[in-house]
Amino acid sequence: MSMDFLCTDFLKDREIRLVLDHTSRGDPARGWVPAYYFNICNNQGDVMGKCDLRLGYNEKLYYGGHIGYRVEEPYRGRHYAEKACRLLFELAKKHDMPYLIITCNPDNLPSRRTCERLGGELLEIAELPEDNDMRVEDGETHKCIFKFIL
């Protein structure tokens, strides 16, 4: 699996483009992997949200997912998160990743629908380990774990 950061200029479709904001090499001691961070933009260049792709596999990624996304309120309901994920799937393939995990809170119905529209398999609704960052820092207790075969 390639961990060198790649050119991301191809991450666009008819409606959106992912504009690289920054990359992170990760911190293996903390279980953090290399990652890309993008702004989700429309063709006029307006930032409509953010997304990221984390590279590699470990326990933290099983619960936290390979892709994170957020669409700003005025732009919601137009499937921009789904479109951004489809573009990130292409980038993950270039890194020779055979599958991705995307997680969401069980009560986040829009995010669950996004994962379903993307064709993800719901593996489980998992209880977060007691020492998981999302549990310790944010008080979250459960995640829907979706797997996507690339």
Written as six digits, the tokens of 46 are: 């307006």
Residue 138 pLDDT > 60: yes
How far apart are the C-alpha atoms of 142 and 115, rounded to whole Å? 16
The pLDDT score that the predictor gives to residue 83 is: 98
The pLDDT score that the predictor gives to residue 1 is: 61
The pLDDT score that the predictor gives to residue 59 is: 86
Mean pLDDT of 131-136: 90
How far apart are the C-alpha atoms of 148 and 144, rounded to whole Å? 13
Residue 2 pLDDT > 90: no
Weakest-pLDDT range from 26-35, 52-61, 110-119: 26-35
How far apart are the C-alpha atoms of 139 and 120, rounded to whole Å? 26
Mean pLDDT of 119-136: 94
Q: Which domains does the chain have, with CATH numbers?
A: 16-149 (3.40.630.30)
Taking CB atoms within 8 Å and a gap of at least 24, the contacts of 5-10 are 5/34, 5/36, 6/91, 6/94, 6/95, 8/36, 8/38, 8/91, 10/90
| SS3 state at 125 | strand
How many degrees, rounded to 5, is the angle at CA 93 between CA 128 and CA 111?
A: 40
Per-residue pLDDT tens over the stretch 33-77: 999 999 999 999 999 999 999 999 998 899 999 999 999 999 999
- Residue burial 39-73, b: 16+ Cβ < 10 Å; e: rest: bbbeeeeeebbbbbbbbbbeebbbbbbbbbbebee
4, amino acid identity: D
Mean pLDDT of 69-94: 97
Confidence class of residue 30 from pLDDT cuts 50, 70 and 90? confident
The pLDDT score that the predictor gives to residue 28 is: 86
